[in-house]
A and B are shown apart, each in its own frame.
Chain A
């Protein structure tokens, strides 16, 4: 899906895309945080059949309703790079890699210089990972380091 972005001088930004069903949808994000959702007219694609004006809070709620389950999936891909510092969320596989084995066995810090910062297991975040920490399938592991180090650490973790 392609999302087109158009600046609206003095108002904000407009995003538009064509839904899989063929409907053309626009979202105006105003500078004050208000959002307008618009459904474009099929006969006159330049105008809207209707718009919904949402406050910032409304928009947040609506986003939850529309896409809540996607957020975890997105986290897996999420990767921030801050000038030389990469942060990656690595999801442990069902088997292989370091699953069922302690952190120390991977020798991640020695080999790659990347650090395992925290693990998310279920709903719980576990900071301060000890060398004796044993990984379980489905754990989300937060790894930090240089770009390359993080990639190699991920390879060790997932096998």
Chain B
């Protein structure tokens, strides 16, 4: 897939040497980045894998230490990446109504806790083994914990599994993870500031209180906020929603709740007609800026740093693929799903993607641990691709679950 990008460095050198002005360099670099993304997106479509890992790879081969040095356009990419995070989380919030969250919490909280314990622990332990700080370890725990609702929801649709009996179990677990993330991100933001324990505890308490209050306000004033941004003109609607999203995200960041959570809560708040319209309008915008976010994350990583983290990343990928499968099987079994459906549930939860990168990106921006970026990139690359393949062939991969299974713990260990 890199064949397409190989001739480009030479091209760029020629263009830049022709005394190009600053603006033209920026535009040319961005042009190259976008065209590479477009080509990779097509390729991903063609071979049936998500585009996220390819975008990450594209970022890796660009920038510092890569084949295509990008520097002039980096400022735009950096801001574009932040916008990408805001839009990713805004649309995630829009996917769910507050009712979805309430129902999800009520029905799947046990599976949600198992999910958290089984999948965050390996990340934390590996980080500790590597001698990382507490902050960096918590970050890596978040990276390994959260499945990619973007990839999974898309593939469930692509593979015609939306009507399957196990699908509500998968979706509810994803909802639980997203709720956990809304609590986790503000905590993380506080930890990363490097406060003392007491200061940190107070700040974390405040941050969580703000999220809780914001959530209640979101439920209460949903209609009002939606009415304010509503417009029949798509342009005005888009401007209104984007303006509100950036404002809320910025304010949230200012009080250390993290911009991502602000955007997520705003997404939850918008409902009804407005939400329907935005769901039709925003995804292309999100995908463009989301793509920039993944590329920018990759650009920030020197490919030479991948070598030393490759082994831990792959080991972690293997272990957390198994723990995710265990989580899914357990949750599906509790919901009364048959052995084949349990197996599909487990395999469907394996893909990691955008939110692992969002969490790692926070750590990278705060300078928590230099190897966190490369490790997270290698980990997501592995599990985004492997997870999609596992999902696709779920019914053909021989399941170790034979009906009826007697011992629950044995299954989890498989």
Q: Is the CB of A31 within 8 A of B162?
A: no
Apart from A28-B163, A31-B279, A48-B161, list 19 A-B contacts with CB within 8 A.
A6-B168, A7-B103, A9-B104, A10-B96, A10-B149, A10-B174, A10-B175, A27-B163, A32-B276, A38-B164, A44-B338, A45-B338, A46-B165, A46-B340, A47-B164, A47-B340, A47-B344, A47-B395, A50-B160
Contact of B171 (CB < 8 Å), options: A11, A36, A40: A11
Pick the residue among B101, B168, B338 that contacts A8 (CB under 8 A): B168
Chain A residues in 8 Å Cβ range of B161: 47-48
Q: What is the CA–CA distance of A13 and B138 in the complex, to the nearest angstrom?
A: 36
Asked whether A14 is an interface residue with its Cβ less than 8 Å from the other chain, the reply is yes
Provide the bound-state CA to CA distance between A46 and B403, in Å. 14
Which residues on B sit within 8 Å (CB–CB) of A145?
none
* Cβ contact within 8 Å between B100 and A26: no
Most chain A beta carbons < 10 A, residue from B101, B175, B340, B395: B340
Query: In the complex, what distance in Å separates the CA atom of A38 from the CA atom of B337?
Result: 17
Interface residues of B (CB under 8 A from A): 95-96, 99-101, 103-104, 149, 153, 160-168, 171-172, 174-175, 276, 279-280, 337-338, 340-341, 344, 395
In the complex, the answer to whether A9 meets B163 with C-beta atoms within 8 Å is: no
The answer to whether B340 and A9 touch across the interface, beta carbons within 8 angstroms, is no
Q: Assuming A32-B279, A32-B280, is B162 touching A47 (CB within 8 A)?
A: no
A113 is an interface residue with CB less than 8 A from chain B: no
Whole-angstrom CA separation of A112 from B343 in the bound complex: 63
Task: State whether A44 touches B168 (Cβ < 8 A).
Answer: no
Is A158's CB within 8 Å of the partner chain B? Answer: no
CB <8 Å contact, B164 and A46 = yes
Closest chain B residue to A25, Cβ basis: B163
B171 touches A48 (CB 8 A): no
Given contacts A46-B340, A47-B340, A47-B395, contact A11 B103 (CB under 8 A): no
**Known pairs A32-B276, A44-B340; A10 contacts B100 (CB<8 A):** yes
The reply to whether A10 and B95 contact each other, CB–CB distance below 8 Å, is: yes
| Contact status A46-B171, CB under 8 Å | no
Classify chain A's interface size.
20 to 34
Q: Which of B164, B174, B340 has the most CB of A within 10 A?
A: B164
Query: Contact between A28 and B395 (Cβ–Cβ < 8 Å)?
Result: no
Q: Which residue of B lies closest to A51 (CB)?
A: B160
Interface centre among A8, A27, A31, A48 (most CB of B within 10 A): A8
Top 7 nearest A-B pairs (CB, nearest first) are A46-B341, A38-B163, A46-B165, A10-B95, A9-B100, A26-B163, A51-B160
Partner of B163, one of A10, A32, A44, A51: A51
The answer on a CB contact under 8 Å between A10 and B164 is no
- Tell me, in angstroms, the Cα distance from A20 to B338 when the chains sit together: 23
Q: How far is the CB of B231 from chain A (nearest CB, A)?
A: 20
Show 29 A/B contacts (Cβ-Cβ < 8 Å), sorted by A.
A6-B168, A7-B99, A7-B103, A8-B162, A8-B171, A9-B168, A9-B174, A9-B175, A10-B100, A10-B153, A10-B175, A11-B153, A14-B162, A14-B163, A14-B168, A28-B162, A30-B162, A32-B280, A36-B162, A36-B163, A38-B160, A45-B338, A46-B166, A46-B344, A47-B165, A47-B340, A47-B395, A48-B161, A48-B164
